[in-house]
Chain A
């Protein structure tokens, strides 16, 4: 019984972190699906989202506003606005001018942007860890008090539910809305979509904005869940989310969700049953194995050479 509870606890830990990875992974996968480049500055957009949320929360608390739902919603809105304008600006400044050139050029531009944003935050916010105030404590306990107790915290529940809502909204948006339809068209054939009168520049910007907004949501949630942010916050998370996107099949939105969850659970099971030292070994080995045996990822479609 106790072992079972332990297993479920690690599963919950893994699913929590996995759903956050999935939120970030969407940004990688959508951008890749549409223009075939990897936006390495995406992790930094997520970090900036977390910082903005922290600043908003601190600001509200300073004004004496402490009603939790209000604080969270305001922080979320601020983070989404700042991050998505950041995502839009990054695309405009660093990617659009080099679009259509050799594939390596936007990639290098992305890495440059990532370094720039990281150091910008270093300068603007200092390099120390800044703590999030503990807003959401407590949770449900399962199991008897004198042995191992499984706990499901309110924070974890919030992360699940928010991710679920975001994912549902995104799926609806992509499948039903006008812009969503245009997104799909552009991802199938950019030039043809252009010929048919779709403003592809606008659609590409929209993709960056959507990806950045989801990253901002993840930034707020994970910042609160972990409890602190620093300028390197986005680097590892970005790398993991990228792995998740590739794992699920880069370019595929359900793939990013699945990849994120698998990666999160694999990580927590490794540190739960083996040792935390092997956590990253396992997640990146998983990536290598997938690339070796199923290069398109779990849910990715084989790329058809466009003539």
Chain B
């Protein structure tokens, strides 16, 4: 008897909770998943700052179809296991649109869950081709692909006519993918690749690797991976008088590399999305960021802003909150965003997205090459 009373109370409680959830659903929940903590949390900061600004401005301008956007923020630490947990929690929260994740190795497992559960996902940072390469209907991105970034880097190096090039990567999906793309481009250009070698992410001692690079007497070293390892490699290479030029993908292009490598970061080449914050048509938005005391110059701030805007515009265009309708609208339409005009192909990739080669300086600033 007692248990059945308990059951009834639970059932009533649950239905009350459901009803109140039903009322709150007048808002549109947008899930934001990215690293708030962990070794690459600074990229998460860019993402969250862009997303919050977009939600703020869209709500101030009257919301989407008369409803307000509400952010549901979760931390995936850029860890594939955590990302899956976060994705499941998003499902439980009743989120229908997710802006995230950041690291390709997190985005990929999470996107399996979103696709199965009918949640639309736009990643503002994952560049691995596999994210959109599996024929998913609900997976989009507001950034280019490794397969675009690799050739940009490869062609740049090839154009400098180096005698020998070394390629190093961290054996992770992002790093190795991009390093392979660079190697293929260089091979096609007929450049001699003296070494292609993996390191262990999280390692600290690169003295043997640096010695090997020195012995190989290369002109360029391309590193596929993130800044904590490259920072140490740069620093240790500098101490051993390696005079090769280093280059890396956007995963190394943030100010934390300066705190690790110090002076050795001067002259590092980085492929980054173009500085959207320098574009004339974005100046009003940039002012809004500056007024909030936030830095809009990070590579993922405005891609994250654009991702939220695309969710909102997609809903407006489809005149429906069903993620499948929104996905259809995104594929058929053309949208004005701070990262330019966005048009999607069938896979969910932008039809055009360019990467630019920058030279990094030891004070954390960068200047475009060309």
Q: With A226-B236, A228-B231, A277-B171 as given contacts, are A17 and B205 in contact (CB-CB < 8 Å)?
A: yes
B148 CB-CB contact with A under 8 Å? no
**Bound complex: CA A14 to CA B209 (Å):** 12
A16 CB-CB contact with B under 8 Å? yes
A130 CB-CB contact with B under 8 Å? yes
Contact present for B197 and A233 (CB under 8 Å): no
Q: What's the minimum C-beta distance from B41 to chain A, rounded to whole angstroms?
A: 6
* Interface 1/0 per residue, A102-127 and B, CB below 8 Å: 00000000000000000000100001
Contact present for B241 and A10 (CB under 8 Å): no
Smallest Cβ-Cβ distance to B200: which chain A residue: A280
Contact present for B205 and A226 (CB under 8 Å): yes
Contact present for B211 and A227 (CB under 8 Å): no
A85 CB-CB contact with B under 8 Å? no
Contact present for A267 and B232 (CB under 8 Å): no
Smallest Cβ-Cβ distance to B240: which chain A residue: A151
* Interface 1/0 per residue, A230-254 and B, CB below 8 Å: 1011001100000000000000000
Chain A residues with Cβ under 8 A from B235's Cβ? 134, 226-228
Choice from A13, A133, A232 contacting B202 with Cβ under 8 Å: A232
* Interface 1/0 per residue, A152-164 and B, CB below 8 Å: 0101000000000
Choice from A2, A9, A129, A222 contacting B228 with Cβ under 8 Å: A129
Q: With A9-B211, A228-B231 as given contacts, are A127 and B236 in contact (CB-CB < 8 Å)?
A: no
Contact present for A17 and B198 (CB under 8 Å): no
**Bound complex: CA A275 to CA B171 (Å):** 13
Chain A residues with Cβ under 8 A from B94's Cβ? none
A131 CB-CB contact with B under 8 Å? yes
**Bound complex: CA A46 to CA B49 (Å):** 36
Contact present for B262 and A131 (CB under 8 Å): yes
Contact present for A6 and B211 (CB under 8 Å): yes
**Bound complex: CA A188 to CA B259 (Å):** 48
Choice from A133, A149, A232, A276 contacting B262 with Cβ under 8 Å: A133
B260 CB-CB contact with A under 8 Å? yes
Choice from B42, B203, B208, B217 contacting A128 with Cβ under 8 Å: B42
Chain A residues with Cβ under 8 A from B209's Cβ? 271, 276
A173 CB-CB contact with B under 8 Å? no
How many chain B residues touch A (CB < 8 A): the figure is: 36
Choice from A127, A148, A276 contacting B198 with Cβ under 8 Å: A276
Q: What's the minimum C-beta distance from B195 to chain A, rounded to whole angstroms?
A: 9
Chain B residues with Cβ under 8 A from A14's Cβ? 208
**Bound complex: CA A137 to CA B228 (Å):** 21
**Bound complex: CA A57 to CA B199 (Å):** 30
Chain B residues with Cβ under 8 A from A122's Cβ? 37
**Bound complex: CA A122 to CA B260 (Å):** 18
A268 CB-CB contact with B under 8 Å? yes
Smallest Cβ-Cβ distance to A226: which chain B residue: B204
Chain B residues with Cβ under 8 A from A130's Cβ? 259
Greatest chain B CB density within 10 A among A139, A222, A276 is at A276
Q: What's the minimum C-beta distance from B222 to chain A, rounded to whole angstroms?
A: 15
Q: With A127-B41, A151-B241 as given contacts, are A10 and B205 in contact (CB-CB < 8 Å)?
A: no
B88 CB-CB contact with A under 8 Å? no
Chain B residues with Cβ under 8 A from A9's Cβ? 211
A279 CB-CB contact with B under 8 Å? yes
* Interface 1/0 per residue, B242-262 and A, CB below 8 Å: 000000000000001001111
**Bound complex: CA A127 to CA B199 (Å):** 21
A residues 1-30 with Cβ under 8 Å of B?
Answer: 2, 6, 9-10, 13-14, 16-17
Smallest Cβ-Cβ distance to A155: which chain B residue: B239
Chain A residues with Cβ under 8 A from B202's Cβ? 232, 236
Q: What's the minimum C-beta distance from B196 to chain A, rounded to whole angstroms?
A: 9
* Interface 1/0 per residue, A250-291 and B, CB below 8 Å: 000000000000000001100110011101100000000000
Q: What's the minimum C-beta distance from A275 to chain B, rounded to whole angstroms?
A: 5
Contact present for B232 and A268 (CB under 8 Å): no
Chain B residues with Cβ under 8 A from A236's Cβ? 202-204
Q: With A131-B259, A227-B260, A227-B261 as given contacts, are A222 and B204 in contact (CB-CB < 8 Å)?
A: yes
Contact present for A128 and B41 (CB under 8 Å): yes
Contact present for B197 and A226 (CB under 8 Å): no
**Bound complex: CA A230 to CA B202 (Å):** 10
Chain A residues with Cβ under 8 A from B171's Cβ? 277
Q: What's the minimum C-beta distance from A277 to chain B, rounded to whole angstroms?
A: 5
Contact present for A148 and B38 (CB under 8 Å): no
**Bound complex: CA A232 to CA B200 (Å):** 14
Other than A6-B215, A13-B207, give 19 A-B pairs with Cβ distance below 8 A.
A10-B208, A14-B208, A122-B37, A129-B228, A129-B259, A134-B235, A134-B262, A139-B239, A141-B241, A148-B215, A151-B240, A227-B262, A228-B204, A228-B232, A228-B235, A232-B202, A237-B204, A277-B198, A279-B208
Which residues on B are within 8 Å of A, measured CB to CB? 37-39, 41-42, 171, 197-200, 202-205, 207-209, 211-212, 214-215, 217, 228, 231-232, 235-236, 239-241, 256, 259-263
20 A–B contacts, CB within 8 A, in A order: A2-B215, A6-B215, A127-B37, A128-B39, A128-B42, A134-B262, A134-B263, A137-B239, A155-B239, A226-B204, A226-B205, A226-B232, A228-B231, A230-B228, A271-B208, A271-B209, A272-B212, A275-B197, A276-B197, A277-B199
